[in-house]
Structure 1
Amino acid sequence: MHGSIMPSARMGRTIRTQAGQVRGAVRDDNGVLAFRGIPYAAPPVGPLRWRAPQAPTPWSGVRDALDFGAASLSSLEHDARPGPRSEDCLTLNVWTAAKAPDEKRPVMVWIHGGGFQFGSSANLATDGSVLAAKGVVIVSFNYRLGLFGFLAHPDLDTQAPSGNFGLQDQLAALRWVKANIAAFGGDPGNVTLFGESAGAMAVGLLMASPLARGLFHKAIGQSGAFWDGRHGSLQGFDEARARGLAFVRQHGNGSIAALRAMPAEPLNAAAPWSFARDHVTQAFSPSIDRYVVPDVPARRFLRGEQMHIPLLAGWNSAEEFPFMPLSLPAHSAQAFRAAAAELFGEGRMADFQKLYPDDTDAEARASAAALTGDMVVGEQCWQALRLHRSSTRAPVYAYHFSYTSPYTPIASHVTEIPFVFGTLTPQRIIGSTTPPDDADRALAEAMMSYWVNFATRGNPNASGLPPWPPHDERDLVHVLGTTIEARPNPQADRFAFLGSFREDGMLPMRWRA
């Protein structure tokens, strides 16, 4: 067979990519090969800082792919997360149990979260080896964050509109998958993009992007959809440039060239972020650049301009847990009521108080927490499901993660991730170090099966699993709790109230204040 791989060829640790050969770790006990730290683009440093990702420089010989690449520099103040960080961060990882390169296994590409400000593909919770043993090829990658990933500025608009370099990195990683994943036993024609938090927001942004067409074929969004937040929809074209112009005036005497000459660490330190600031509207993060993101993503979904592909998406019961610094004042019922009246208008307060009661200080605190989770995460997930269902014929599946146990005492933001990957790592975000038990392992097995089934054929169902009905006018959600079953959406009325403030997909600009 001239120039092709014999069907019986066995796949070893050394695999040829377009840029050169890589050598992964030996197969683990489940037969999974792991390749870490493969460059998918050239280092975005020096003159390539704030430019579209370029092709990786080819190498000769065999490159070891045994260690994760450095994560992007973090914008999070006092970020104690382990692992190296660098401006040179554009690498990816592959896990595969394929024995031969012609197996065409479904591919699942993971985008990590962190508000587009922090995070890494080296997170132990998202190690791909357990999922890969279920018959899929797993890919994860790092991308530029914060100032390095999302600076918009008129002087950077010469080749293509600036601002979303981090999203352009994600597109470059997907193009790498399309060009190279067959050599790892994956099917480039069956790629599922999945992510959580900012990773799920990226999934929604790319579903709505004309530049992503054909790069993935199914989507899973865990706790995110449109990059909307507590202060409304994502930054507009002029808004993002005003932020960039102000920063460059302040730190580089108005010169992009001067900023490109600065060392990365002090430059990064000049644009810190904390959870007290809205990552959507008060940080260097995705904006409407009229290129990668042509318009408000929810508006693209409303008009049916997003990819018409199968979608599985959902949210957790206590999404508000990390975001409480963004909540309305709730030290007293009176303060909460006044802030809500300012945000939603006196004319809507009767409706609001039925859904978010504030008769006592304790009620107000609980309502403020629920409202925060709804505004930062929940409503947009529901909106994406609803709009996708009404504007496409593609299958749509909704979930509500409410599971709690000694291992996971709160169904907070991010707590579903160790179940999806089957890693069951400590749930440190909620302060829990209790090890998992058999019930936790059983839920992980079910969730991994649902996710892999969906990635394989666009339907999470299979025999032996509780039936998961498609999302339709009944607004049923598949509750992933101590019992797994379909139930009416418990937050439907709250989400409909918040959704009623959208005009042509956009949340009110007055929420910025």
Structure 2
Amino acid sequence: MTDRRTVLAGLAVTTMSVPTAAAARGDPVAATRGDPVAATRGGRVRGVRERGILVFKGLRYGIAPRRFARAVPPPAWRNVADATRYGAAAPQTRSEEPTSEDCLFLNVWTPGLDRARRAVMVYLHGGAHAHGSGSDPLYDGTDLARRDVVVVTLNHRLAALGYCYLAQLGGPAESGNVGNLDIVLALEWVRDNIARFGGDPACVTVFGQSGGGAKAVTLMAMPEGRPLIHRVATMSGQHVTAAGPNNATVRARAFMAQAGARSAAELATLPIERLVDAMAMTDPIEHKGEISFTSTLDHHVLPRHPFYPDAPREAAHIPLIVGNTHDETALWIGDMLRRGDTTWDNLPARLVANSVKDVAPDYVIARYRQFYPTRTAGQILLAATTAGRSWPGHLIQAEERAKIGAPTWMYQLDYPSPEAGGVLGAFHSLDIGLVFDNTAVPSARTGDDALARSLATRMADSFVAFARSGDPNTRALPAWPRFDLATRATMIFDRTCRIESDPRREERLLFAVAPYIKPGG
């Protein structure tokens, strides 16, 4: 029987010889007159022109010679490489697109291959640390690039392949954070190559939603990440703490057992299908959902938590946007909200099941009925689970930054999705299509009427202004002050955009009596 390590070594040699995703698949290079050709440090690549923007897809930025270990840059090549198709996503459960361990690819949208030195916006996709890719249609960078910026999306290793902490079990020291190191490698590619795509390597914004936002703020706590980024925006990425090394080791042991590996070395040789099947196991600490792999406090790649015990002073110079949506948890409890079957009798149990803050449900319900006497049990479920689960992490990020005087702006999306008659409100992920100005994409779920398009214009313009200058203010918005503890000024993105001081104050104070503890961290 062929040794799996030999196969992996052969894979590494093979992938090192192909510079793009299309080449890796053996796709023919079908050149068309007028197709853009860009020069990178490794060699030339041919993209396409789409709606007036130059697009390069599936650009290889790294290879991973060993599973669970740090990736390295690819070697140079001679011929013009085809860059017209997205690369494979990382292996993951429930994937809706092709996946492969050979997944370190990025995509670029640019107005021109010139020396304009445009601001660069690098987007990190959501999906916790376990799902997704940079090729989702919602992340198409065309409309942002029309605003004279360069947009980059990327794939990196996910779930066990990117975040299984094996350092205590004989595996690589960096194994709990190789997904983040992949992102660092992609940012090094941006630093070294983006000027050839009309971008400014000294003006790089990293922004991301949910798990992508969590990774963005984690880079600020990583010595290898900080020098590569100049602004950060986190959209519902409520990362305060990473996984602790002991709990991460518990998960690694459970995962190895589920996959049928007796050691970290054996785990590195198993067929990838075995690992993906094991990723679907129930989390051994939270006892629900899939096993949770995330950035790990490994005292090596990540020497501290992103926002505990404070915001890292080493990153205080990096401007930060902290964003959240008014009704985050509707993404997860949407079926309940659509059914409308939440009653005063079953509300306490549903609150406990969908909250993180440990506050008595009868107390929470009584207070909410005082705050909002006309709201139904279902409406209180949505409000209280958002305030007791998703919102606290965002508040901590902004508060800790304010304590060290770091430039920070906070926003809250109140604009409701038209789905289900509006009962879902502004749920988790609704801001993605608005920031990318992609409301016409069905998965945006914003609708594509004049109101949605107008808000998208304002949000996209604000993010672009932030990318250029480190300040999100534009003429189309009311003056957006920095967040501080005295006023807690927050931009409310809605049909009418406005600044509110300490929005939902009573809800914030209600849950402030209990600490925010990351589940299973």
TM-score range, shorter chain: 0.7 to 0.9
Whole-Å Cα distance in 2 between the matches of residues 321 and 209 of structure 1?
32
Tell me if 1:14 matches 2:37. Answer: yes
Whole-Å Cα distance in 2 between the matches of residues 424 and 273 of structure 1?
35
Deviations 1:227-279 (A, max 9, x none): x5xxxx54211110121123223434422333222221232112116899789
> Structure 1 residue aligned with 2:434, among 407, 410, 419?
419
Whole-Å Cα distance in 1 between the matches of residues 512 and 372 of structure 2?
24
Q: 1:156 to 1:210 in 2, by over 3 A?
A: farther
Aligned letter for 1:415? L
Aligned letter for 1:197? S
Q: 1:288 to 1:186 in 2, by over 3 A?
A: same
What secondary structure, in the 3-state scheme, does the structure 2 residue paired with 1:195 have?
A: strand
- Matched ranges for 1:228-267 at <5 A: 233-267=241-275
- Matched ranges for 1:168-247 at <5 A: 168-226=181-239, 233-247=241-255
Q: What count of residue pairs does the alignment treat as equivalent? A: 478
Tell me if 1:301 matches 2:324. Answer: no
> Structure 2 residue aligned with 1:313, among 309, 316, 322?
322
Tell me if 1:143 matches 2:152. Answer: no
> Percent of aligned pairs with the same residue?
30
Whole-Å Cα distance in 1 between the matches of residues 288 and 183 of structure 2?
19
> Structure 1 residue aligned with 2:467, among 444, 448, 455?
455
Any conservation in 2 of the 1:207–1:307 contact (CA below 8 Å)? no
Unaligned 5+ segments in structure 1 are: 1-10
Q: Compute the displacement of 1:159 (Å).
A: 5.2
Report the more deviating stretch, 478-487 or 294-303: 294-303
Aligned letter for 2:203? N
Unaligned 5+ segments in structure 2 are: 1-33, 337-341
Whole-Å Cα distance in 2 between the matches of residues 105 and 279 of structure 1?
45
Any conservation in 2 of the 1:24–1:36 contact (CA below 8 Å)? yes
> Equivalent residue for 1:84?
98
Whole-Å Cα distance in 2 between the matches of residues 404 and 318 of structure 1?
9
Q: Compute the displacement of 1:195 (Å).
A: 0.4
Any conservation in 2 of the 1:404–1:482 contact (CA below 8 Å)? no
Alpha-carbon RMSD across the aligned residues, in angstroms, is 3.5
Q: 1:254 to 1:143 in 2, by over 3 A?
A: same
> Equivalent residue for 2:109?
95
> Structure 2 residue aligned with 1:36, among 27, 46, 57?
57
Report the more deviating stretch, 162-171 or 408-417: 408-417
Whole-Å Cα distance in 2 between the matches of residues 255 and 146 of structure 1?
18
Q: Compute the displacement of 1:158 (Å).
A: 6.1
Aligned letter for 2:93? S
Aligned letter for 1:255? S
What secondary structure, in the 3-state scheme, does the structure 1 residue paired with 2:252 have?
A: helix
Q: 1:398 to 1:255 in 2, by over 3 A?
A: same
What secondary structure, in the 3-state scheme, does the structure 2 residue paired with 1:261 have?
A: coil
Whole-Å Cα distance in 2 between the matches of residues 335 and 375 of structure 1?
14
Aligned letter for 2:90? S
Any conservation in 1 of the 2:355–2:389 contact (CA below 8 Å)? no
What secondary structure, in the 3-state scheme, does the structure 2 residue paired with 1:118 have?
A: coil
- TM-score, structure 1 as length reference: 0.83
Whole-Å Cα distance in 2 between the matches of residues 88 and 249 of structure 1?
25
Any conservation in 1 of the 2:258–2:281 contact (CA below 8 Å)? no
Q: 1:275 to 1:239 in 2, by over 3 A?
A: closer
> Equivalent residue for 2:504?
491
- Matched ranges for 1:323-402 at <5 A: 323-324=332-333, 332-333=346-347, 335=349, 344=358, 350=363, 353-355=366-368, 365-392=378-405, 394-402=406-414
> Structure 1 residue aligned with 2:48, among 25, 31, 35?
25
> Equivalent residue for 1:105?
118
> Structure 2 residue aligned with 1:60, among 78, 85, 90?
78
What secondary structure, in the 3-state scheme, does the structure 1 residue paired with 2:310 have?
A: helix
> Equivalent residue for 1:114?
127
Q: Compute the displacement of 1:376 (Å).
A: 3.9
Report the more deviating stretch, 489-498 or 453-462: 489-498
Q: 1:14 to 1:339 in 2, by over 3 A?
A: closer
Q: Compute the displacement of 1:288 (Å).
A: 1.4
Deviations 1:281-320 (A, max 9, x none): 9412222122232233221534635443111121111100
What secondary structure, in the 3-state scheme, does the structure 2 residue paired with 1:379 have?
A: helix
Whole-Å Cα distance in 2 between the matches of residues 29 and 282 of structure 1?
41
Whole-Å Cα distance in 2 between the matches of residues 338 and 250 of structure 1?
29
Whole-Å Cα distance in 2 between the matches of residues 160 and 339 of structure 1?
35
Q: 1:310 to 1:267 in 2, by over 3 A?
A: same
Whole-Å Cα distance in 1 between the matches of residues 87 and 345 of structure 2?
44
Deviations 1:25-59 (A, max 9, x none): 13x343x11000001101x3xx5111111111322
Any conservation in 1 of the 2:359–2:511 contact (CA below 8 Å)? no
- TM-score, structure 2 as length reference: 0.82
Whole-Å Cα distance in 1 between the matches of residues 139 and 356 of structure 2?
41
> Equivalent residue for 1:123?
136
Aligned letter for 1:460? P
Aligned letter for 1:194? F
